[in-house]
Structure 1
Amino acid sequence: MNIFSEAAKLEEQNRPFALAQIVDSRGSTPRHSAQMLVREDGTISGTIGGGMVERKVIDEALDALREKKPRMFHGRMARNGADAVGSDCGGAMSVYISVHGLRPRLVLIGAGHVNRAIAQGAALLGFEIAVADIYQESLNPDYFPPSAELLHADSFTAAVDQLDIKPENFVLIATNNKDREALDKLIVQPVAWLGLLASRRKVQVFLRQMRENGVDENDIARLHAPVGFNIGAETPHEIAISVLAEILQVKNHAAGGLMMAAPHPSQHQRVVIRGAGDIATGVALRLWHAGFKVIMLEVEKPTVIRRSVAFAQAVFQGETQVEGVTARRVASAEEAISAADSGVIPVLIDPLCQSLELLKPGGVVDAILAKENMGTRIDMAPITIALGPGFSAGKDCHAVIETNRGHWLGQVIYQGTAQENTGIPGNIQGYTSRRVIRAPVAGVMNACVQLGDIVSEGEMIARIGETEILAPLSGMVRGLLNDGLVVNSGFKIGDIDPRGASADFTSVSDKARAIGGGVLEALMTLMHQGVKSTRELVTVA
């Protein structure tokens, strides 16, 4: 069999294979010039000489296919020593292994005008296209690239079953009126990217319904919706560009953003945030959207109650999303830098800030909100900012952000302190302290409800040991500690929003946004003025 015609056939079918070619040989080797094709199942066409060296190259080729990366193999025809392959010929060879047939697959659920435009654009970008619909007339081959797989099914549930969707596939749902059916089937299925073309209102309704039906938060976090970049798209082809841009961003592990914006100092500036609770997360989102590379430092077991809007959840789950932005737990400063450069917000366990020497941030933000200074110093970074009481601007940090609700919320203070903590939670429909749930005893926390659940006054929502925790009022469970955390008596473990179903527990609060705006203002002002030399502010290793 001619391996190049076989390679062309496999490429056409988008079936993975590797090509192994001898690029160097010395001494006695089975072959000095040869190629071999290795399929995903380990079968081969051609040979590089047989024996142990060929077996080693096949294994290397299969590893290269799994990693989807080419590699160079060096082998010595010897029994022992570096690169030994277990033979006695005495020679050596180098084999370059390239990988092919790995076009990404885009599955389009629905064959309407937008998905037709997306299919045409995705084909030009090298995607393998599969389209499914319940209306045969919508699957007219004239609407799609010639190579597209078109599937007609009686229902979208049946279509998903027949499409053989794999974890590395990209999937977009865009049907006329069956989005929920397809979403229910796909939300629990791991894929590289799952998008839903829908309005914000529709997305919020679906999210609430899925949570009411017990869909796991980790599954919900994978959904990209509303999908696409905000470019003012209106026509199907404009929307296609918006959606494909997001798919490419995920596929290429890119940060996104305008190329022309790169010279702005924030694009090169790392900012470390101490803490990753709901307020810290609001700050992180503001900075991330402004182009800063945000790195968050947390304790080993963070006690955040508004978990759905706190990047601290990455500590427990490994990865989490808030408003479409991904945070991921990392194990080292080096890994944090790499994640931040790729557009992800890394969360590193480092309460003592020992990683700052390696991170070399342009700014540090203390967002622990402990009402006292937990070790933040003005010399931690060229710009140091702290939130709330317990800090003195000009002494502990360069700026303090006001955190008390009211007229001055989010104010930047360059000299002096923030207002003292009132100890009274924000007023929602006349409820303040009553809506906050505190532990009546010390012990291990275990929840009986989920975030977003609607509860009635007196309903049991958690246990601490054998002690039942009852809802102090009717409304939505907006905050609740993670299970398994040890709490002291009087510790804040949750809160109820009396607005009930109209409350939104999936997006950051107005308070967090206001404080985040204050941090962004302080950073930009101090960068412009220069707390230290311009070189220190702009050049971050």
Structure 2
Amino acid sequence: MNNWISALADLQQQGEPCVLVTIIEELGSTPRNAGSKMVVSATRTYDTIGGGHLEYKAMTIARDMLESGKQDTQLQRFNLGASLGQCCGGATVLLFEPMGQVQAQIAVFGAGHVARALVPLLASLPCRVRWIDSRELEFPEHIPSGVRKIVTDEPVDEIADLPAGCYCIVMTHNHALDLELSAALLKRNDFTYFGLIGSKTKRVKFEHRLRDRGISPQHLQRMRCPMGLSEVKGKLPVEIAISIAGEIIATYNAHFGQHTARADPITHLLPSSRRSHATT
């Protein structure tokens, strides 16, 4: 059988959800080793926790978790004996940890310096990314797994194809395009997160122009600008990218599964960013 560590890494790279099963505790005289692990995907298992009926039960529970989309870890105690078809007594405690469930569909508009630092970070998370720009040459030669590169002369048109609950990040090279994208996203208003790169001054200007286009104050509150965690300081593209990725993680941890239009601002979850991201 494949080593569980390698299997977990391979499944994560492929974007395939799985459950990591670990023996936490052995009670009584049983042949199993505490700390043993196996990985269960929808179709295969990797490594072993000792075989037998207990392993079969663990596989069944893990696949039920995958089918239902459960995200929470859970502990289960199995009393060995007739219920598990074992001849010996004692009990085993198993930990079930869901891994690799897609937490967020993300659209990144722009392929500038910050975006090129950000997208590989997002690709390493349980996310799927659409990376959109009109400039083919701005994209790196290697596009990370889980990222779909979209080159289009009309980036705003891509908004119609975004799934409800999408995480939207606007950081293009053009303020006029940023404004058009912002207006289209706020009019649709079924995103989970919308971040716009820029300073507080840029936000004030955009709010004025967006109000002139009929965007309500409630919808404007949902726009994160400046975006990124204020606790992460620095002006380097990778530092800005890390702060934005941290904000994305905080948001999907709090809102996974809430894929409906909401007027609640993200600011009740995250501290106001003091950073001024004026460039991409």
TM-score, normalised with respect to structure 2:
0.61
The residue matched to 2:19 in structure 1 has which SS?
strand
Change (3 A) 1:3 1:222: farther
Aligned CA distance change for structure 1 residues 125 and 32 (closer, same or farther; 3 Å): closer
Q: Counterpart in 2 of 1:74? A: 77
1:58-73 matches, cutoff 5 A: 58=62, 61-62=65-66, 66-67=70-71, 69-73=72-76
Q: Aligned partner of 2:268: which letter?
A: T
Q: CA deviation at 1:208?
A: 0.9
User: Paired residue for 2:246?
Assistant: 248
- Other-structure match for 2:171: 174
98-107 or 148-157, which moves further after superposition?
A: 98-107
1:112-154: per-residue Cα shift (whole Å, max 9, x none)? 344234446x369868664211332333x24x76555422235
- Map 1:389-408; keep pairs closer than 5 Å: none
- Aligned equivalents of 1:72, 1:157: Cα separation in 2: 46
Q: What's 1:12 paired with?
A: 13
Q: Give the Cα–Cα distance (whole angstroms) in 2 for the partners of residues 155 and 220 of structure 1.
A: 23
Contact kept in structure 1, 2:79 and 2:91, CA below 8 Å: yes
Code of the aligned partner of 2:52: G
Structure 1 residues 55 and 100: CA distance shift in structure 2, 3 A: closer
Q: Cα distance 1:232–1:146, how it changes in 2: closer, same or farther (>3 A)?
A: closer
Quote the Cα distance in structure 2 between the aligned partners of 1:72 and 1:230: 34
Paired position in structure 1 for 2:97: 98
Q: Provide closer, same or farther for how the CA distance between residues 56 and 119 of structure 1 changes in structure 2, counting only shifts above 3 A.
A: closer
Deviation readout 1:24-72 (Å, 9 max, x if unpaired): 445698x835643233xx44415653477336632675499633x5443
How do residues 71-470 of structure 1 correspond to structure 2 at under 5 angstroms?
A: 71-77=74-80, 87=84, 89=86, 91-101=90-100, 107-119=107-119, 122=121, 130-139=130-139, 141-142=140-141, 146-147=144-145, 149-160=148-159, 167=165, 170-175=167-172, 176=174, 177-187=176-186, 188-191=189-192, 193-198=193-198, 199-209=202-212, 212=214, 217=218, 219-228=219-228, 229=230, 238=236, 241-242=239-240, 244-249=242-247, 251-252=249-250, 320-321=264-265, 325-326=267-268
Aligned-partner Cα distance in 1 for 2:159–2:113: 20
**Secondary structure of the equivalent of 1:248?**
helix
Q: Call closer, same or farther: CA 1:8–1:238 in 2, change over 3 Å.
A: closer
User: Shift in Å at residue 195 of structure 1?
Assistant: 0.3
On the 8 A contact 2:17/2:66 being kept in 1, the answer is no
Task: Give the letter for the 2:23 counterpart.
Answer: I
User: Cα gap change, 1:134/1:37 in structure 2, threshold over 3 Å: closer, same or farther?
Assistant: same
* Structure 2: gaps (5+ residues): 252-261, 273-280
TM-aligned CA deviation for residue 173 of structure 1: 0.6
Q: Distance in 2 between matches of 1:243 and 1:71?
A: 33
1:22: which partner in 2?
23
Letter in 1 for 2:135: Y
**Residue pair 2:22, 2:38 contacting (<8 A) in 1 also:** yes
Q: Letter of the aligned partner of 1:12 in structure 2?
A: Q
Distance 2:233 2:93 in 1: 52
Amino acid at match of 1:178: L
Residue 184 of structure 1 and its aligned partner are, at CA, apart by 4.4
Alignment CA distance shift 1:207-1:50 (3 Å): farther
Q: How many residues align?
A: 242
Residue aligned with 2:227, SS: coil
Provide the identity percentage: 20
Contact 1:3 1:37 in 2 (8 A): no
- Secondary structure in structure 2 of the residue aligned to 1:108: strand
Three-state SS of the structure 1 residue aligned to 2:116 is helix
CA deviations over 1:140-195 (Å, ceiling 9, x no partner) = x24x7655542223532443456x6574x64311222322443345442332x320
Distance 1:135 1:109, change over 3 A: same
For residues 102 and 138 of structure 1, what CA distance do their matches in structure 2 show?
Answer: 30
Query: What is the rounded CA distance, in whole Å, between the counterparts of 1:343 and 1:165 in structure 2?
Result: 27
Task: Please give the TM-score of this superposition, normalised by the length of structure 1.
Answer: 0.36
- Counterpart-to-counterpart distance in 2, 1:157 and 1:64: 35
Structure with higher Rg: it is: 1
Shift of 1:109: 0.9
Closer/same/farther in 2, CA of residues 45 and 209 from structure 1, 3 Å limit: farther
- The 2-side partners of 1:60 and 1:54 are apart by 10
- Whichever residue aligns with residue 66 of structure 1, its letter is K
Tell me, in whole angstroms, the C-alpha distance in 1 between the residues paired with 2:180 and 2:58: 49
Change (3 A) 1:231 1:8: closer
Alpha-carbon separation, structure 1, partners of 2:78 and 2:220: 47
Structure 1 residue matching 2:168: 3-state secondary structure: strand
Question: Could you say what secondary structure the match of 1:66 adopts?
Answer: coil
